[in-house]
Amino acid sequence: MQTLAPGRLLELCLRLTKFKKENKELLTYLLFEATNDQAYINSIKCTIDEAFEELPKTNLYLTKKSLRKTLRITNKFIKYTGSKQAEAELLIHFCTCLKKSDIPIHKSNALGNLYQQQIKKIEAAILTMHPDLQHDYAKQLSEIN
């Protein structure tokens, strides 16, 4: 990539953005939002909040599907940042929203397993952080667990 002319590199990037939605979203993150991670994290939290407001709570099957979709979108955004801190913060927010909702997560094995899997991901992300951050996020995790 270093040997390519800047014009050719730009041409390749623009061609890449034409094909997949994820490529466009990643490029948008890298160009416009990577400089302010906290604002990006807050916008994702708002997206998560909106998804929880729209959950169909009358049918547990549809609720599970919607939760999986929300989690899939959250994980996609986490992948863009590549930050364990963002991963922990967003997954803690997801689990907090799940706990605050009136969804009976312990009545369904699938939902209980989904919740426990996110707790494990949060714990794994926390272990890779600086000790000061570990303490802060571990405290938040203990509040939802």
Give residue 14's pLDDT.
79
Mention every residue, 6+ apart, whose C-beta is less than 8 A from residue 56. Answer: 62, 63, 66
Least confident of 22-36, 37-51, 107-121: 22-36
Choose among 117, 128, 21, 130: nearest CA to 76. 21
74 within some domain: yes
Higher-confidence residue of 110 and 27: namely 110
51 within some domain: yes
Domain total in the chain: 1
Mean pLDDT in the chain? 90
8 within some domain: no
73 within some domain: yes
Give residue 83's pLDDT.
92
7 within some domain: no
2 within some domain: no
Instruction: Using pLDDT thresholds of 50, 70 and 90, give the confidence band for residue 44.
Output: very high
6 within some domain: no
Is the pLDDT at 16 greater than 70? The verdict is: yes
For 92-121, the pLDDT digits (tens) are 999 999 999 988 888 889 999 999 999 999
Q: What percent of the chain has pLDDT over 70?
A: 99
For residue 89, the enclosing domain spans 20-144
Is the pLDDT at 4 greater than 70? The verdict is: yes
12 within some domain: no
Is the pLDDT at 1 greater than 70? The verdict is: no
Alpha carbons 91 and 145: distance in angstroms, whole number: 12
CB 102 within 8 A of CB 57: yes
CB 45 within 8 A of CB 95: no
